Amino acid sequence: MERVLLILAEGFEELEAVAIVDVLRRAEIEIVTAGLGDGVMTSARRIKIVPDMQLKDVDIGQFDMVVLPGGQPGTDNLARDERVIRIVREMNERGKYTAAICAAPYVLSEAGVLTGKRATSYPTFQERLKAATVVKDQKVVRDGTVITSQGPGTAIEFALELVEIFRGGQKAQTIRQAMLCG
């Protein structure tokens, strides 16, 4: 079974984090949340989430994908954490999937993962991306093993793209219909 790691930092975008976890679990994809620190992580709007584990206890070799939700100051906290940068680089070097939404594609950029890739992000972060092509008119962009998306309003589409990677288009469509996503 595929395993996905979603990393939470203080100030994460709650809609993105929860939507991704929800949709992937509907698809029966194992998704594990890991917090940068001990205990409860508090979102940008002060919603408290208890991660499944702490990042310091993660064995990245056990995962097929790492996902970074955006939000502020969550993205800045992710970008400043050397463990996160190391994990993103290692996943990329192993040919595993790296995915980020909202402002978090900036973290992929800082890790060097967007070099030569097409990517998108929250509009105010697009100028900060070191990508071959910044795509401004697509909600979700997949370029090889790198998947990026624009923000809270695109979180379900982003998560469905992740489902498609592991379970195929039919499963993603089944979930889309069950969730009344069009």
Q: Is 102 a catalytic residue?
A: yes
Q: How far apart (Å, rounded) are the C-alpha atoms in residues 61 and 181?
A: 34
Q: Give the position of tokens 């970074």.
A: 68
Q: How far apart (Å, rounded) are the C-alpha atoms in residues 161 and 2?
A: 15
Of the candidates 31, 87, 102, 160, the residue annotated as catalytic is: 102
**CA quadruple 52, 57, 62, 63: dihedral positive or negative?**
positive
In whole angstroms, how far apart are CA 64 and each of 84, 95, 127? 15, 9, 29
Q: How far apart (Å, rounded) are the C-alpha atoms in residues 139 and 106?
A: 16
Residues annotated as catalytic are 102
